[in-house]
Structures are given as C-alpha cells and as structure tokens.
Amino acid sequence: MPQGKPSVVPDDGLTTRQRRNRPLVVVHTGIGKGKSTAAFGLALRAWNQGWPIGVFQFVKSAKWKVGEENALRVLGASGEGGSVDWHKMGEGWSWVQRDAQMDNEEKAREGWEQVKRDLAAETYKLYVLDEFAYPMHWGWVDTDEVVSVLRERPGTQHVVITGRNAPGALVEFADLVTDMSKVKHPMDAGQKGQRGIEW
C-alpha cells in the first residue's frame, strides 16, 4: 500500500496512528454525476473491512430501485463482511417540486432523527446519508444542528453526505469534500438515463 506523506503535520498532540484513524465527515456535492456512486463505493470498502453500514436515502422515492441497494443488501447478508441496513425516507424526486412537499419535509426530519439516534447509539461504523444535502439546502433540516451533532458524535463513526448544494457550514466542517463537476453528459444530447449507468 502506498505510504502517503501529508503536506502538513498539525501540532494537535495526536500520534500518527490516532490522527490517521480519526473518524471522518465526507461530503460529495456539485452538479456532476457520481456523488452517490462514490459514496456507495466507500460502503463497499467499509463492507470489506467488516464495518456495520447504515444507508439512509433522503428525498428519492422509496419505490425507486437503486442498483447499489440490491448489491449491498446481498453482500450484507452474505456473512463475509459488514452488515448493511438500508433506510428509505423519500417520497419523490429531489429535483421535482411536488404537492407532497410537506410530506417530504416530515420524512426528511424523521430520517434525520433516526440518524441522530443511531449516531448516539453508535449503531454503524459508516453512515451513507444519500441526498441529505437537499433537506439542509431547502431548510427542512437545520445545518447548524447537523454540524453540531456530527461534531459531537461518539466513537469512530464515519459519515458521508451526498447531494447538490451542500451548505457552506457543512462544507467548512467536513474533513473531505469533493465537488463533482459536469464536463459532459449524454442527457445534454437528448439521451435519457439507462440501466447499469444511472441505476
């Protein structure tokens, strides 16, 4: 395994091992494709390490069949790696305004309350909060509260949050932030999403 050398070694009183193993908050944001896909890639790595994984899908329809869900559920049930729990809170598409917005808001808040309970109980080692940037961006969930809860979370729990328009306070707090930018996409040429690529 490559031995990366950090460009800065902080004077924080931690040993190299302590600093290396501290829990991370990861944010995948931006208008490009691949935010959730990258998060599920982290989940695969976590599964391989034997970590319990909690996936919380915000905003996307609970009826939507996500390809990674089936794969991770099968892996989680295999007994070879970590366990995988998958929670769906959404009622509609994140980019479509619907009459059921109030129901979406309520489900997003309920989902965040469940995440808070699981963080307090140290239920998982990796949390994938898929599309969670949207409820914060829309004001459904308070960003300052999210940052506070994540800052005070016990143990060594890693959290990855996906979605466009991640709030500035979250981006500033996070340890690792990737902004996915779109250079080109087939939809620009009128091609709809396809199996195996978008889902």
Residue 98 lies in a domain: no
Report if residue 36 sits inside a domain.
Answer: yes
Confidence label for 14 from pLDDT (cuts 50, 70 and 90): confident
- 44-93 per-position pLDDT tens digit: 999 999 999 999 999 765 566 677 888 998 999 999 999 999 998 765 44
Confidence at residue 62, expressed as pLDDT on a 0 to 100 scale: 57
pLDDT of residue 93: 44
CATH classification at residue 61: 3.40.50.300
What is the pLDDT, as a whole number, of residue 94?
Answer: 45
User: Who wins on pLDDT, 190 or 6?
Assistant: 190
Whether 95 maps to a domain, the answer reads: no
Tokens of 123: 């239920």
Full residue range of the structural domain in which residue 150 is found: 19-89+112-179
Mean of pLDDT values over 114-130: 98
Least confident of 74-78, 130-134, 194-198: 194-198
Q: Let me know: does 54 contact 85? Beta carbons within 8 Å.
A: yes
pTM above 0.85, yes or no: yes
Q: 7 in a domain, yes or no?
A: no
- Mind listing the pLDDT tens digit for each residue in 149-162? 999 999 999 999 99
Q: Per the structure, how many domains does the chain have? A: 1
Residue 103 located in a structural domain: no
Residue 104's pLDDT is: 81
Query: What average pLDDT does the chain have?
Result: 88
186 is a domain residue: no
Is-contact 159 129, C-beta < 8 A?
yes
Phi/psi of residue 126, nearest 5 degrees? -130, 130
Longest dimension (CA), the chain: 55
> How many Cβ atoms from other residues are within 10 Å of residue 170's Cβ?
22
* Angstrom distance (rounded) from CA 91 to CA 168: 26
Helix, strand, or coil (residue 140): coil
Side chain identity at residue 2, one-letter code: P
Classify residue 184: in a domain, yes or no. no
Looking at the domain assignment, is residue 173 inside a domain? yes
In the block, which residue shows the tokens 């990861």? 26
Residue 95 scores a pLDDT above 50: no
- Segment 86-102 mean pLDDT: 60
Reading the block at residue 192, the tokens are 């709809």
